Structure 1
Amino acid sequence: MKKLLLASILMTGVSISAQASADKGNETGSVQGVVIDAETKKPVANASFTASIRKASFQKEVTTDANGKFNLSNVPVGEHTIVIDKVGYRATKKEAILVKEGLLLKIEFEVIPAEEEIHQPFMAPITIHSF
């Protein structure tokens, strides 16, 4: 009986140790901030925001709210590249954004209005044949 109890305790210890090692691979942080127009300094709503980590296959996309704010949670630690894209603005790319374990990184991005914008939909030519 004592041997069974001892074996059970040892197995529990191994199980807890394995779980702790597995959890260590899930180190994350958060990125929070705002996207603003570089000229007007007003928030940019509905801007697509993508973060990706260089050393892993991580990519996460969110959209800014009506106040230009965004929140990325459970972002793996490490250096990330962040791309912000919104019609009417130049795409903005920031590299080497460092996310640290358990910390909240606050960032403000300024986006530059595009110089020229084309809003014409593509119109394919139509040929009509009468029989």
Structure 2
Amino acid sequence: MKKLLIATILMTGISVSAYATADKGTETGTVQGTIIDAETKKPVANVTFSATIRKASFFKEIVTDANGNFKINNVPVGEHTIVIDKVGYRASKKEAILVKEGLVLKLEFEVVEAEEEIHEPLISPITIHSF
């Protein structure tokens, strides 16, 4: 975890969309998506992906599959902090990712290969698409 605090906060790209599911009234949602290499545009496997929400004491950590995909079900509604970490890539962190009740939040993250152990912080824009 200390590595995450030292590492550069970098998000070169993120696309977000939400669509309705049949799971209404649960006060939870789903977060799913793909993590790709920013240069090659190919999926990145075995990336640690975590979502946290302070007010609900929620923390969930998963690892992407061979196709760079992840999915977390039963995520409490509210604003979450997303952290992405993989050896050889810059750690990324994005705050205020909003999970809504009964919706699936689709994310696509681009990660950048690490050039050095420590980098200066860089924050890039987020694009949100709602359907």
Q: Which has the higher strand share?
A: 2
- 1: CA distance between counterparts of 2:51 and 2:65? 17
Matched ranges for 1:57-68 at <5 A:
57-68=57-68
Letter of the 2:66 counterpart: A
Query: 1:51 Cα deviation (Å)?
Result: 0.2
2:38 pairs with 1:55: no
Query: 1:27 Cα deviation (Å)?
Result: 1.0
2:104 pairs with 1:91: no
Matched ranges for 1:18-97 at <5 A:
27-97=27-97
Measured on the aligned residues, the alpha-carbon RMSD in Å equals 1.3
Query: 1:32 Cα deviation (Å)?
Result: 0.6
- 2: CA distance between counterparts of 1:77 and 1:116? 36
Query: 1:84 Cα deviation (Å)?
Result: 0.4
Bigger Rg, which one = 1
> What secondary structure does 1:59 align onto?
strand
Unaligned runs of 5+ in 1: 1-23, 118-131
Unaligned runs of 5+ in 2: 1-24, 118-131
- What does the per-residue CA deviation read over 1:50-83, in whole Å, with 9 as the maximum and x for residues that have no partner? 1001322100001000000000100000000000
TM-score, structure 1 length as denominator? 0.68
User: Percent identity between the aligned chains?
Assistant: 77
Aligned pair count reads 93
Letter of the 2:39 counterpart: E
Higher relative contact order (CA 8 A, sep 6+): 2
- List structure 1 segments (4+ residues) > 3 angstroms apart after TM superposition: none
- What does the per-residue CA deviation read over 1:81-117, in whole Å, with 9 as the maximum and x for residues that have no partner? 0000000000000111000001001000011100036
- 2: CA distance between counterparts of 1:54 and 1:97? 13
Q: Which has the higher helix share?
A: 1
TM-score, structure 2 length as denominator? 0.68
- 2: CA distance between counterparts of 1:30 and 1:94? 17
Letter of the 1:99 counterpart: V
